[in-house]
Structure 1
């Protein structure tokens, strides 16, 4: 078996990687949102915020059989990597996954890092695989999907109206694309509010944000051909930014949206700003993105407050994932 690092400019290699990845998802959980060759290449070029992962394709006699991706954080948690392993269903049970795990550990060691994170579907075989390789379960994350075609827009409007009444001290700013320069500093603190979301038992530092990182996120999303929509809450009396919600819509597949963030600064909680922001975003997207039919979001299973809002807004569970870590 040969393991080679993929370049985003390798069209054949990226297509082979997506074929391996998709074959695994189609067997294990076909509802999960899957890459296209184009989106996979963009991930390798730009990542989430110009911090792209590395990808390695395993081949036997020229046939793609497995895929390893390695995320290498540079803004924070710089002692860690996060890896993902996929093996084509036709080639499972032959040690390919174990070889890719070992390769991921080798890459981690070469980078001078000592902690590896690993995630997998909540399936008995996946859990046994993780434990066999010394990983300890640390958290549970749930992927939910909002079906806009089945959404009760009357309910959305009621949630919005009730939230406006509860949050009368605040106003909303709706933005598409980049943040205005005069909002950047205020958005650093709002974005860092995501650190209050549950980490469960994960050994992770808080995310660290800066003007440069916020701009890197905008650049990576734009170059990945996604339109970023934001709704920001601002306190009327002080002008302080209090919270935001962010959804990115693919241009390659404009029916698909992803919830990238929803956060409310601690000192502004208790005014139904979370419900206000999310309902306002839906009303905005109904007009701005008529082709949009689904929005995916991820939450720690223990984040009951946000899950409660999402379930009101017709989010249903797609998949449950277990997050693991080990020290090397």
Structure 2
């Protein structure tokens, strides 16, 4: 079927609706039961990016001018990561196996190469045709991920009560958005604790963390209309952050299209500074976050998270909290000339 590729510079309302149509159809087909994106969430994904990144967008139209495929290329411009790019490529289920995805991927690969990128990565559902689609185009599997879901109604009672268990030498503190000024530098230093997180063979580059960057990340979450919740364990001996966990609440659902994802929160990274590991702080922090959710955000009914298959410790922590397997994905990577 004839198609027309169009690179978007300033997405219009019609572009957003077409993008929403493609992604909603693909999500309903590939991950039935998952909440569909709102128009607002789609609009935000096309227009909101961090200060050290850029987006390149393509929308493919069919013969009757309806949207049939999309591509979102994210180009990092930060030092240590300016050789990397990631792409999210989506084809409407009714238009697959017609060459649309192949042509669109070729356009994206060429654009990434023109930007001087050396690695292009993407993520697909494990065990689906998406894997062979990438493998036959020189992408190689670099990291396998397990996605887990927790229904807040199923949190084990013993876990909910864990925040009341003393952890000598540490105390919990919480905030929303950017960290308090007194903790900003310490929190940034703790982010380095994620440096040894298993990443398989996926090229992730080096990120320089400081107070300005953690504030920028919080600002980006706010610009997306989401809420960023943080729990941290503070070392009482010196007042520094010994570990932390982060979670985002989705933007309020729109009513214009009758869909929304307000009931699902996303668990982000959890890290403990190497010097403070072995005290059970990770489990303590995550259970404190779940208790806060049940008390302060009754509209949230479930939490979803992803963890590298090699990260056995965090998978075990999640299982102890009541998380159950949801799906598996594979990050593929292409080496560009």
Instruction: Report the TM-score when normalising by structure 2.
Output: 0.90
- Structure-2 change in CA distance of 1:49 and 1:18 (3 Å): farther
* Counterpart in the other structure of 2:258: none
* Counterpart in the other structure of 2:259: none
CA contact (8 A) 2:177 2:219 kept: no
- Structure-2 change in CA distance of 1:48 and 1:141 (3 Å): farther
CA contact (8 A) 1:233 1:242 kept: yes
* Counterpart in the other structure of 2:76: 73
| Aligned counterparts of 2:66 and 2:59: Cα–Cα separation in 1 | 10
Task: Compare 48-57 and 21-30 and name the one that shifted more.
Answer: 48-57
- What is the SS of the residue equivalent to 2:53? coil
| Aligned counterparts of 1:223 and 1:206: Cα–Cα separation in 2 | 25
Report how far residue 33 of structure 1 moved. Answer: 5.0
| Aligned counterparts of 1:169 and 1:23: Cα–Cα separation in 2 | 51
| Aligned counterparts of 1:142 and 1:206: Cα–Cα separation in 2 | 24
| Aligned counterparts of 2:50 and 2:153: Cα–Cα separation in 1 | 28
* Counterpart in the other structure of 1:327: 335
- Deviations 1:16-43 (CA, angstroms, capped at 9, x unpaired): 1121112122222224454322112112
CA contact (8 A) 2:83 2:117 kept: yes
CA contact (8 A) 1:8 1:14 kept: no
* Counterpart in the other structure of 1:155: 158
Is residue 99 of structure 1 aligned with residue 91 of structure 2? no
| The one of 252, 275, 290 aligned to 1:282 | 290
CA contact (8 A) 1:144 1:316 kept: yes
- Structure-2 change in CA distance of 1:7 and 1:248 (3 Å): farther
- Structure-2 change in CA distance of 1:312 and 1:222 (3 Å): same
| Aligned counterparts of 2:41 and 2:10: Cα–Cα separation in 1 | 10
Task: Compare 277-286 and 204-213 and name the one that shifted more.
Answer: 204-213
- What is the SS of the residue equivalent to 2:129? helix
Report how far residue 9 of structure 1 moved. Answer: 4.9
Aligned length: 324
* Counterpart in the other structure of 2:214: 214
* Counterpart in the other structure of 1:195: 195
Q: Which runs of 5+ in 1 are unaligned?
A: none
Is residue 314 of structure 1 aligned with residue 322 of structure 2? yes
| Aligned counterparts of 2:221 and 2:107: Cα–Cα separation in 1 | 29
CA contact (8 A) 2:83 2:116 kept: yes
| The one of 261, 265, 269 aligned to 1:261 | 269
Q: Which runs of structure 2 are paired with 1:1-328 in the superposition (5 Å)? A: 1-6=3-8, 9-47=11-49, 51=53, 53-61=55-63, 62-75=65-78, 76-152=80-156, 154-161=157-164, 164-165=165-166, 167-253=167-253, 254-328=262-336
Instruction: Report the TM-score when normalising by structure 1.
Output: 0.93
| Aligned counterparts of 2:235 and 2:144: Cα–Cα separation in 1 | 34
Q: Which runs of 5+ in 2 are unaligned?
A: 254-261
| Aligned counterparts of 1:204 and 1:273: Cα–Cα separation in 2 | 26
| Aligned counterparts of 2:56 and 2:327: Cα–Cα separation in 1 | 25
Report how far residue 283 of structure 1 moved. Answer: 1.3
- Deviations 1:279-309 (CA, angstroms, capped at 9, x unpaired): 1111112121111101111110111111111
| Aligned counterparts of 2:152 and 2:9: Cα–Cα separation in 1 | 36
